[in-house]
Amino acid sequence: MKKRRSLIRTSRTINRVTQRTLSQMLSLASTLPAHRHPTLAAWMRSHRILRPIVLTLTLALPSDIPLQRLEEAQNDDEELALILSQPDFELKLQRLEWLARDTRPIFIYCEVTDETVRPYIPKSLRNEVIALCHNPAHPGPKSTNKLLRRKYVWFTMSKDIYSFVKNCIPCQQKKIARHNKLVPEKFPLPDHRFAHVHIDIVTLNESEGYSYVLTMIDRYSRWPEAVPLQDINANTVARAFVDTWVSRYAAFIVVHFAG
């Protein structure tokens, strides 16, 4: 009786896990033979299912990184070989067989949980995977770390992600480390009018051969003057200033040119 209750609980657990897994069809549909899954094999025996069935899982992998490339990178990764050589290592990986059309079976090391399958990303592909998740919106290190941990796994994830975001040029250019408060400078006023004049040249649409305007403003009284110009040669500007300003308001002490 106790054995039957245990099998019933196992059956319910498998059904719940299978429904959650099947609902997460993110990118690539892959297969895991049921007879290689110990818990699922027990459930099959409890239901007297002799023929092996297939449990469909999902692997969230960017389209820019095909499965064949991931398999080759995992085979050449020294860190993965060190992890597999230590049975007590905290990162538990399984070698899964992925069936693809018109190609040989592909074997990928992944971490299999009740929720999803997270492929192991070797060292040669980590920056590329981080960039694919970070560059579209440039989130902060915590958000990038959380986003990547949902889909992928490797031993030094936090360290690598924080280092990548810290050295991201667009993020550093937009980051505001300190807000500088600008102190308004004093604008000294002259003692009398027409002693300090500001001049500038403004470009306008051509009208009757004139394309520029020479503007002149007295700092003390803010009195403005403007004269149209056909060109902005030095002789033309100087002649317009003398004929318009100096001839009317006498000599000046300081001229400030904005351009």
**Structure confidence by residue, pLDDT tens digits, 129-184:** 999 889 988 898 999 999 999 889 998 999 999 999 999 988 888 776 666 677 77
pLDDT of residue 94: 87
The strand order across the sheet containing 94-98 reads 28-33, 54-59, 117-119, 106-112, 94-98
How many CA atoms within 13 Å lie on the side-chain side of 18?
17
Tokens of 258: 């904005």
Every domain of the chain and the residues it spans: 1-59, 60-169, 196-257
Lowest average pLDDT, out of 21-30, 111-120, 122-131, 220-229, goes to 21-30
Q: What angle do CA 48, 49, 54 make, to 5 degrees?
A: 155
Q: What is the pLDDT of residues 174-232, one digit of tens each?
A: 776 666 677 777 778 888 888 889 999 999 999 999 999 999 999 988 999 999 999 99
Give the mean model confidence (pLDDT) for residues 116-141.
Answer: 90
DSSP β-ladder status, 254-257 and 224-229: unpaired
Spatial separation of the C-alpha atoms in residues 102 and 27, rounded to whole Å: 18
Give the mean model confidence (pLDDT) for residues 29-46.
Answer: 51
The residue with greater pLDDT, 58 or 254, is 254
pLDDT of residue 19: 38
Q: Helix H segments across 23-168?
A: 38-46, 67-75, 78-84, 126-134, 141-149, 157-166
CATH of 196-257, one of 3.40.50.720, 3.30.420.10, 3.60.21.70, 3.30.2130.10: 3.30.420.10
The CATH number given to 60-169 is 1.10.340.70
Lowest average pLDDT, out of 46-55, 64-73, 116-125, 139-148, goes to 46-55
Confidence band for 235, pLDDT divided at 50, 70 and 90: very high
Tell whether pTM > 0.75: no
Mean pLDDT computed over every residue of the chain: 77
